[in-house]
Structure 1
């Protein structure tokens, strides 16, 4: 009986680990969709990935809601030429996911070429079948 209990516990832990990694993969796909939408500036893609209640924080302290975030990128005011995410970690707890990474990007804001290197915290929420970006905070790296 004791061996059966240990076996059931082992199987349960194994199944939870597989479910967790499946959710992490879903979030990783959503993060990649965000990266591509930010580079392309496609309004529909940005609108689809962002939650209605998005809080988008810049390293300068500026905050944007969903409408401002979408407009800034779709209009080209914030123009990402390339974006690379490095050292990414994903932690899923229920319907919430925390993603941390380093963002390295080439920009062309207002026709002025530039480069940024920032730390990023993304907060994702599972809404229906989709992971939506609920929060983002950038911070300056040393």
Structure 2
């Protein structure tokens, strides 16, 4: 569980910092990244949007995190509250329910899938 908790925290920090090297390391080449509005992205698209500021997270706070392990797969659910400053949109805030699916690949936990829904 500690490895997954650490991987989630590394992902959170990399998204805020725009750290594409860490994002590349933490995400599977088969990544399916789902946004709350229905947009789906590949790994390349997700990392590119963070790198270019299309998706710009000023801060991210994760709460109510629950982790379930099934063999070499981890299912993580949490509430993501964030301040954003997306290119072309300006400052904003989001509150999302997020499901992350992580798989262990050659000793490294990698994000395979992510889906977010808006929290009312």
> TM-score interval w.r.t. the shorter chain?
over 0.9
Partners of 1:28 and 1:121 lie apart in 2 by: 14
Deviation of residue 97 (structure 1)? Answer: 0.4
Moved over 3 A (4+): none
Question: TM-score, length-normalised on structure 2?
Answer: 0.97
Cα shift readout 1:43-65 (whole Å, capped 9, x = no counterpart):
11111110010000000000000
The alignment status of 1:103 with 2:76, answered yes or no, reads no
Partners of 1:55 and 1:28 lie apart in 2 by: 20
> Which residue is equivalent to 2:101?
123
Partners of 1:98 and 1:121 lie apart in 2 by: 7
Deviates more, 1:83-92 or 1:107-116: 107-116
Q: Is the partner of 2:12 in helix, strand or coil?
A: helix
The alignment status of 1:71 with 2:48, answered yes or no, reads yes
Deviation of residue 114 (structure 1)? Answer: 0.3
Name the count of aligned residue pairs. Answer: 119
Gaps of 5+ in 2: none
Would you tell me which structure has more strand in proportion to its own residues? 2
Partners of 2:31 and 2:102 lie apart in 1 by: 10
Computing the radius of gyration from Cα coordinates, the structure with the larger value is: 1
Output aligned runs, 1:81-96, within 5 Å.
81-96=58-73
Question: TM-score, length-normalised on structure 1?
Answer: 0.82
Gaps of 5+ in 1: 1-23
The alignment status of 1:57 with 2:34, answered yes or no, reads yes
Partners of 1:80 and 1:88 lie apart in 2 by: 19
Partners of 1:52 and 1:110 lie apart in 2 by: 25
> Which residue is equivalent to 1:139?
117
The alignment status of 1:35 with 2:12, answered yes or no, reads yes
* Structure 1 vs Structure 2 CA RMSD: 0.8
Would you tell me which structure has more helix in proportion to its own residues? 1
Deviation of residue 135 (structure 1)? Answer: 0.2
